[in-house]
Structure 1
């Protein structure tokens, strides 16, 4: 009697487990596409902030390539290319600053083909609220201080926070966060200037499977 009861209870638990698993799978499949669309719309909004819609006539999201440069952070990185009448205008790169105060900071850095910064936005971070989170455009306009800036071919001492002798403000009580962002943006600009011609020649490939290869190293 006891064995039969245990067997029956086991079957009931197994049935509940199977039903729960099936429900999770169905829910994931039903929500995957809406979530992906929402993420795409959010990314497009940020892209339109760093590269104005009137500055290009192509679909930035569809004109995307993956690149692999350790200077930009963990690979692969997405590069969204802007063109006007088929001519290169700018590109927005996903960049990671690994040395934030509370961990990695994910950025979107857009650069015009003349090497000047079109715009920078923070995509993700874990910096201290009220201090390091001023890298968010909705909290502070500090991130716009990169607009129009250029990086010299040689070592450029201007690309540092003022405490380190550079031209960028640091935050009161928080220097590590802006320092990390400044360094990451400078690296991104240098990589873009070195490789932009090749990037604009490549076919879009962000919808293809991610290859497993060793990251490329950009020249210093």
Structure 2
């Protein structure tokens, strides 16, 4: 076989290999995307009772303005509805903990009350601040039912800071960061309620 023929054969084999790889990736992309959506749905929607909404919240993002808050940054949000009426807003928040960024999911109902707080990402100290990633999480459950006015603004702090909340043992900075970010989200909801809840029936 001549050198030219050998090169042509290698090129053809490479082209066939690339084509097959592309075909496999193209064919499996929808399945991978569907599996990723399912994972995201499980992670992001388990703070809301499944029978309380009938839309696909992750397909209904809300517009976030002035995302840089006092102690945190809002990364985005979603709206859960039932019969085209808003049920809850899911806000993704990022704050700075002891060892790095902490990403939270903060779910607020239409009356401004917390349905729950969940840690999505964190890099805190194992055995101490990293316990905010445990699920279910007893410490995070203490926020359930709280609102901007219950407690009042001054109460949104650790007891050692004259507030109303206990801290995770040995993780003062982490605890303080989560409390402040949750309070930020409640303030943002209160000040942008109409924008966040919108009018789903006219989308």
TM-score (norm 1): 0.72
Asked whether the equivalents of residues 63 and 196 of structure 2 are also in contact (C-alpha less than 8 Å), the reply is: no
Larger mean CA deviation between 180-189 and 37-46 belongs to: 37-46
Give 1:36 deviation, angstroms.
Answer: 3.3
* Stretches of structure 2 lacking an aligned partner (at least 5 in a row): 1-10
- 3-state DSSP of counterpart to 1:82: strand
Asked whether the equivalents of residues 60 and 80 of structure 1 are also in contact (C-alpha less than 8 Å), the reply is: yes
Matches of 2:113 and 2:105, distance apart in 1: 15
The root-mean-square deviation of aligned C-alpha atoms, in Å, is 3.3
- 3-state DSSP of counterpart to 1:182: helix
Q: Tell me the equivalent position of 2:88.
A: 90
Larger mean CA deviation between 26-35 and 85-94 belongs to: 26-35
Q: Tell me the equivalent position of 2:143.
A: 146
Matches of 1:144 and 1:153, distance apart in 2: 15
Asked whether the equivalents of residues 133 and 139 of structure 1 are also in contact (C-alpha less than 8 Å), the reply is: no
**Alignment equivalent of 1:195, drawn from 172, 189, 192:** 192
Asked whether the equivalents of residues 121 and 133 of structure 2 are also in contact (C-alpha less than 8 Å), the reply is: no
TM-score (norm 2): 0.77
TM alignment of 1:1-220, pairs within 5 A: 33-68=30-65, 69-71=67-69, 73=73, 75=75, 77=76, 79-97=77-95, 99-138=96-135, 140-152=137-149, 156-201=153-198
Residue correspondences, number: 196
Asked whether the equivalents of residues 136 and 143 of structure 1 are also in contact (C-alpha less than 8 Å), the reply is: no
Matches of 1:161 and 1:29, distance apart in 2: 51
Give 1:178 deviation, angstroms.
Answer: 1.2
* Stretches of structure 1 lacking an aligned partner (at least 5 in a row): 1-13, 204-220
Matches of 1:38 and 1:122, distance apart in 2: 21
